[in-house]
């Protein structure tokens, strides 16, 4: 049984954390496993949208403390894990996290590296690192960008868990649904995104990843290049042709 499973259903791919016996805790092999899974999804042109989910009762309970205590997770592990999160964050496809049960510590870091987060109403969400004499890695960089400095600092300083409704209120998750409806909701969102032209999705994600880091002038240069490429794409030309055909059809219908 793979620690991370991959499933592809047409244009929708799924990366499923698969250690349900430990609530999908992140063990010594997690960075390499996630990097491999993300690379496979990124490189498959048939996959348009990627879901990240957890098997069993939880999304991810964070670091596997048994591996940590046994010396299986050395300090370099935390550096390597950041590149695994980044692989989700920088993938040129929409990535949607489906959160249920425990979403703690590194589990929340996985979720905030995704583009969109859908939470079941049984989710337990938090960053307990500070209470355990840890630092929650680059969540200290991502979380303020996502929910603002005040909310981010409170979650990090307090280490307290919050309910999905509170996570929705502060912008940490996009939608809260009944636990039994999570899978359907994920696929509804994926189906919205899968039909958006690939070139548009790729460049919109590239630009929004830089939105808070580049000054206006630098961002404008990036936007100009993105606009040039997208306007030259076959998908955009096909959209223009469809606009022309609709206009002609409306004109003919108006003449009748």
Longest dimension (CA), the chain: 80
- Two tokens at 192? 């919205």
The pairing of beta strand 12-17 with beta strand 4-9: antiparallel
Provide the sign of the torsion angle of the four alpha carbons 45, 49, 52, 53, taken in this order.
Answer: negative
Q: b or e along 25-45 (b: 16 or more beta carbons within 10 Å of the residue's beta carbon)?
A: bbbbebbebbbebbeebbeee
User: What's the whole-model pTM score?
Assistant: 0.92
CA atoms within 13 A on the CB side of 105: 21
Distance separating alpha carbons of residues 117 and 102, to the nearest angstrom: 14
Q: b or e along 74-104 (b: 16 or more beta carbons within 10 Å of the residue's beta carbon)?
A: eeebbeebbebbbbbbebebbbbbbbbbbbb
Instruction: Note the helical H segments in the chain.
Output: 30-43, 65-69, 76-90, 106-113, 139-147, 149-158, 164-169, 182-194, 198-209, 216-231, 234-255
Distance separating alpha carbons of residues 192 and 148, to the nearest angstrom: 27
* CATH 3.90.226.10 domain locations along the chain: 4-194
| Domain covering 4-194, topology | 2-enoyl-CoA Hydratase; Chain A, domain 1 (3.90.226)
Could you write out the DSSP letters of every residue in 188-240?
A: HHHHHHHTS-HHHHHHHHHHHHTTTTS-HHHHHHHHHHHHHHHHTSHHHHHHH
Distance separating alpha carbons of residues 1 and 19, to the nearest angstrom: 9
Distance separating alpha carbons of residues 9 and 215, to the nearest angstrom: 40
Q: What is the pLDDT of residues 11-24, one digit of tens each?
A: 999 999 999 999 99
Distance between terminal CA atoms of the chain? 65
Backbone angles phi and psi of 132, in degrees to 5 = -110, 20
- The Cβ of residue 192 has, within 10 Å, a number of other Cβ atoms equal to 11
Give the position of tokens 């929409």. 94
Instruction: Give the per-residue pLDDT at 230.
Output: 87
Instruction: Give the per-residue pLDDT at 252.
Output: 76
Please report, in tens digits, the pLDDT of each residue of the chain (256 residues total): 699 999 999 999 999 999 999 999 999 999 999 999 999 999 999 999 999 999 999 999 999 999 999 999 999 999 999 999 999 999 999 999 999 999 999 999 999 999 999 999 999 999 999 998 899 999 999 999 999 999 999 999 999 999 999 999 999 999 999 999 999 999 999 999 999 999 999 999 999 999 999 999 999 999 999 889 888 888 888 887 878 888 778 877 776 5
Q: CA 84: distance to chain centroid?
A: 12
């Amino acid at each position: 049984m793979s620690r991370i499973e991959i499933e592809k259903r047409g244009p929708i791919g799924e990366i499923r954390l698969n250690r349900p016996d430990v609530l999908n805790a992140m063990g010594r092999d997690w960075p390499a496993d996630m990097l491999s899974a993300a690379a496979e999804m990124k490189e498959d042109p048939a996959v348009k949208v990627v879901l990240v989910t957890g098997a069993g009762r939880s999304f991810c309970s964070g670091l596997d403390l048994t591996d940590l205590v046994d010396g299986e997770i050395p300090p370099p592990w935390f550096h390597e894990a950041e590149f695994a999160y980044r692989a989700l964050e920088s993938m040129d496809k929409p990535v949607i996290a489906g959160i249920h049960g425990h979403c703690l510590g590194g589990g929340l870091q996985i979720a905030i590296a995704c583009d969109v987060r859908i939470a079941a109403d049984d989710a337990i969400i938090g960053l307990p690192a500070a209470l355990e004499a840890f630092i929650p890695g680059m969540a200290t960089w991502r979380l303020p960008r996502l929910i603002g400095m005040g909310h981010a600092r409170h979650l990090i300083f307090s280490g307290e868990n919050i309910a999905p409704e509170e996570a929705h209120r502060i912008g940490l998750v996009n939608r809260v649904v009944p636990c039994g409806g999570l899978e359907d909701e994920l696929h509804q969102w994926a189906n919205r995104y899968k039909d958006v032209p690939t070139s548009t999705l790729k460049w919109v994600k590239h630009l929004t990843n830089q939105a808070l880091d580049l000054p206006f002038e630098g961002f404008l240069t990036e936007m100009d290049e993105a606009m040039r490429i997208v306007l030259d794409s076959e998908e955009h030309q096909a959209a223009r042709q469809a606009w022309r055909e609709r206009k002609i059809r409306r004109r003919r219908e108006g003449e009748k």
